[in-house]
Amino acid sequence: MQLLCRDLVLDLSEPRVMGVLNVTPDSFSDGGRYAGFAAAVARGVAMAEEGAGIIDVGGESTRPGAAAVGVQEELERVIPVIEALAQRVTVPISVDTSKPEVMRAAIAAGAAMVNDVRALDAPGALDAVAGTGAAVCLMHMRGEPRTMQQAPEYRDVVGEVRDFLAVRLSACDAAGIATTRLCIDPGIGFGKRAEHNLALLAALDRLAAPGIPVLVGVSRKSLVGMITGRAAGDRLAGSVALAALAVMRGAAIVRAHDVAETVDAVKVAGALRRAAAGGD
Helix (H) or strand (E) holding 139: strand 135-139
Residue among 13, 55, 1, 6 at smallest CA distance from 212: 1
3-state secondary structure 48-91: HHCCCCEEEEECCCCCCCCCCCCHHHHHHHHHHHHHHHHHHCCC
**Residues belonging to the active site:** 221, 255
The Cα–Cα gap between 172 and 181 comes to 10
What backbone torsions phi and psi does residue 67 show, to the nearest 5 degrees?
-80, 145
Phi, psi at 76, each rounded to 5°: -65, -30
Q: What share of the chain is helix, strand, coil (3-state, %, to 5)?
A: 45, 15, 40
